Amino acid sequence: MSRVFSGIQPSGVPTLGNYLGAIRNWVPLQETHEAIYCVVDLHAITVWQDPADLRRQTREMAATLIACGLDPQRCTLFVQSHVRAHAELAWIFNCIARLGWLNRMTQFKDKAGKDREAASSGLYVYPNLMAADILVYHATKVPVGEDQKQHLELANDIAEKFNHDYGVDFFPHIDPLIQGVAARVMSLRDGTKKMSKSDPSDQSRINLNDSPDDIAQKIRRAKTDPEPLPDHLAGLEARPEARNLVGILAAVTGTLPENLLREHAGQGFGAFKNTLTDALVAHLAPIQAELKRLLEDPASLDAALRLGAERAGAVAEPILEKAREIVGFLPR
Ligand code: AQP
């Protein structure tokens, strides 16, 4: 059974983009793979996080993952900073990755913004930590949204250079698993930007804990164009906002976008947005009810996360020890 790994930052409330592009695809993998999932708090602090917010958001993210269908009995679910091997292997990878490689990472450019000199060095080496997250488990498959493809290519470059420099065949090749019609959900305010939990505008995203009224209001205000819906996919090509809303409805209802278009062709966005709102509210209601229940019992949640960290550590430690030996560190 091959091993999958994926992580999500507790940098805010998870969005519909996180859900459709990543979390939802993690659930079936519990049945077919050895699945390891992690709330990546070390990654989150690459940009400023208020400590009290970070603690709350870390628990809420773990609870959301469970509410979306991850079962701590069937997968390994834990908090990244609870397993020290991630940070230790990341240091070794900081010494393997080349500056030129990191300079090409578009996420750093997006997140650092105009004032790159003021970005944290953690944000710059973020992809090295991500490579360590995966490779410290010798995981070979990583379910992610399309936005993370470049980071996975870098992780493979790191694994290959490590193997080459030390003359070993130690770290495996990683394959991204990018699934579904909503592999990239875009902002509701700008169809060329991805939906993001840390976007300053709350109107740009659907949060998984948004109330039905919030969802209705955000979808009503979502940017669209004045044209009616076309009857085929090619008609959406230069219309990123329209394409995004069609993609979201397709993903949430499990319908092919081309079938949706046949159904709604010629309609304006008013009617389409009502259908989309109803579908989103119905889809998120059971997740929200389960999330509420889980957050009422933080002690059980923490216990599940502790157990997950023990199980993760038991897999990671021997792999880290071997990497240390390959590098030439004295045994401890
Ligand atoms: N808009 C998106 N569409 C599809 N997939 C997405 N993912 C994120 N946004 C979209 C996927 O969610 C997983 C977890 O992401 P993350 O929290 O580790 O970091 P991120 O990709 O940087 O997500 P955000 O929401 O944009 O977080 P912030 O705002 O904190 O940076 C990943 O698999 C990602 O592909």
pLDDT single digits (tens) 244-278:
999 999 999 999 999 999 999 999 899 999 999 99
DSSP state of 207: B
Closest atom of ligand 1 to 111 CA is 31
Residue 111 tokens read as 């997140």
Q: Whose CA is nearest to atom 14 of ligand 1?
A: 8
pLDDT band, very low/low/confident/very high, at 58 (cuts 50, 70, 90):
very high
Q: How does pLDDT run across 169-228, given as a tens digit for each residue?
A: 999 999 998 776 566 899 999 999 999 998 999 999 999 999 999 999 999 999 998 899
Q: Predicted ipTM?
A: 0.96
**pLDDT of 146:** 81
Provide the CA 27 distance to its chain's centre, in angstroms.
13
> For the structural domain made of 3-183+298-327, what CATH number should be given?
3.40.50.620
Domain 210-292 class in CATH: mainly alpha
Distance 150 CA to ligand 1 centre (A): 13
**Cα dihedral 117→118→124→129 (10° resolution):** 160
66-106 pLDDT, tens per residue?
999 999 999 999 999 999 999 999 999 999 999 999 999 99
CA of residue 18 to ligand 1 center, whole Å: 5
Whether residue 39 contacts residue 7, with contact meaning beta carbons closer than 8 Å, is answered with yes
The closest alpha carbon to 37, from 65, 58, 68, 60, belongs to 65
Radius of gyration (Cα) for the chain, nearest Å?
A: 21
Where are the CATH 1.10.240.10 domain residues in the chain?
A: 210-292
* Type of residue at 125: V
- The rounded Å distance from CA 17 to ligand 1 centre is 7
211 is in an annotated binding site: no
Cβ of 133 below 6 Å from ligand 1: no
191 in contact with ligand 1, CB cutoff 6 A: no
User: CB–CB of 228/258 below 8 Å?
Assistant: no
CB 71 within 8 A of CB 30: yes
**Where does CATH 3.40.50.620 sit in the chain?**
3-183+298-327
